[in-house]
Amino acid sequence: MLKNKVVLIGLLAFVLYGGSLWWTASVYGEGENSQGEKITYTIADSTGDWGYPSPYACYSRGPGYVRMSFIFDTLAWKNEKGFTPLLARSWEYDQEENAYTFFLRKGVTWHDGVDFTAEDVVFTFNYIKKHPISWVDSSIVEKTIEVDLYTVKVYLRESYAPFLSNIAGTLPILPKHIWQKIENPQDFREDEALIGTGPYRLLDYDKAQGSYLYQAYQNYYLGKPEIEKIRFIKVSEQMASASLKRGEVNASAVPPEIVDELKEKGFSIITSSGAWNAKLMFNYKKELLSSKEFRQALAYAINREEIVKITQRGYAVLGSPGLLPPSEEYWYNSHIEQYPYNSHKAKAILESLGYHIEDGYYGKDGQKLELELLTSPKFLRVAELISQQLEKIGITVDLRSLESKTLDMKVGSWKFDLAISGHGGLCGDPSILNKVILGKGFNSARYHKNETLNTLLVSQVHQMEKEKRRDIIWKIQEIYAEEIPTLTLYYPIWYWAHDGTINLYYTPGGLASGIPIPLNKLCFLGTSADSG
């Protein structure tokens, strides 16, 4: 049950103003139910707006998906232990047919009262083939058929190990009676666009204010959520601690420096590391950086332990050259080359490649060795330290700080030597390796030079035996660390603080296909809900 705890929501109530809802400095009068239990839960977010929370209009980053997930359910989901049923009460995999059969729950209704059936699931799988959704690549799906009113069978073109995580556990199911007439889903902003089967309905969305307000769906099939209303408001990271202590918000990401203070005030702290990585990208398409030995020399010249200590104040885990973090214990290969700081080894490799010192700096064939390092303001201190470290061994560095989108554009078009970037998703299924090694996006190494690596990446997603798949994943990390088209610098440690009203947790494997945000919608349902 929820804790019998009163928290005033000063500064967060809303009043009608010019047709829009605006936060005001008054006390919101619906903070408790008849038992004195808190029923409005407020979450601070430093960014605020993450898009209109429909499957096609939310922003294609984790917080956007989370906003949408309160409204739309998937066939499967994850709780604190692993996969758990949602719209499907159970499922089974037939290896001979290479097909998943989903046995759907009966008695589920859409928010407009229409019954949910197998027809909606089949429609959704077919709809996303015509109108792809950013979160799900369904190209592996051959066909989806309705066996009966509450049974669906999904046939795959090939075996696909991440199916539950990346498709069944990520794809929001759409109501056929609404979406079958929609030809431009990204532009669909009518009230009907937000009719789902999820535990909450949207009451208000204010793009300018970066605020969202949800209300519990009374007829939710797992039982009415015990948190009556959820709202997200925009609060800077600097103000998060004060907002928590004043009782204005219940939960927020917080800077590591204030964690001890919040603990002393009685707040619960949850942490996560490894889901996101900061990495140094090498433009191996340039002749200078095309040699893996040259890239290895740079890796030895960079003191990543010093980077963690100084730039992250110790609140990070040292990066693995194999990409996957130590927190992914089952998949992580610790027996690969880690490139510990070794300036002597770095110099020896450079000299074996024909470089020699002139006036304190390396050069070759009368040309000074000089590299351009691009960064965004977010990583400026990291970039400065890397520049100093490379200069120390005799490599000239031209450091340039660019706006994030400009940096991404330059990396995407290969107009760089070195660049510092980052991405998440590393806590999900290891199929993320395919996306960030072979994928086309600017966050990917886009590295196709090693045929063995390419073959292993393709085969790993089709290997259904977990232990055999792990062997492949370990070999992938070993080869990638040797080729080193990118170097993971560190995995930041993230901290969330909350008042204990509900039990927040980081979902193992991340929400959906690997989103590392501790706002699993199951937390808000209460003990009355049985997702099994």
pLDDT of residue 350: 97
pLDDT of residue 527: 52
The pTM score is: 0.83
Give the domain ranges of the chain: 13-72+188-271+495-524, 76-178, 277-493
pLDDT of residue 24: 27
The tokens for 147 are 């066996």
**CATH code matching the domain that covers 13-72+188-271+495-524, chosen among 3.40.190.10, 3.40.50.300, 3.40.50.970, 3.30.565.10:** 3.40.190.10
Residue 349 has phi, psi (to 5 degrees) of -65, -45
Report the CATH fold assignment for 76-178: Dipeptide-binding Protein; domain 1 (3.90.76)
Say which residues have a Cβ less than 8 Å from residue 485's Cβ, sequence separation at least 6.
281, 282, 284, 295, 437, 445, 447, 449
Residues of the chain with pLDDT under 70: 1-38, 527-532
Q: Assign 3-class secondary structure to 387-410.
A: HHHHHHHCCEEEEEECCHHHHHHH
**Is residue 269 exposed (0-12), middle (13-18) or buried (19+ Cβ within 10 Å)?**
middle
* Strand 370-375, strand 396-401: pairing: parallel
Report the CATH fold assignment for 277-493: Dipeptide-binding Protein; domain 3 (3.10.105)
Nearest Cα to Cα of residue 521 among 31, 78, 113: 78
Q: What is the pLDDT of residues 402-455, one digit of tens each?
A: 998 899 999 999 999 999 998 888 988 999 999 999 998 888 999 999 999 999
CA dihedral of residues 67, 427, 438, 322 (deg, nearest 10): 150
Which strand ranges, in their side-by-side order, compose the sheet holding 141-148? Answer: 88-94, 99-104, 151-156, 141-148
**Is residue 177 exposed (0-12), middle (13-18) or buried (19+ Cβ within 10 Å)?**
middle
The tokens for 189 are 């902003």
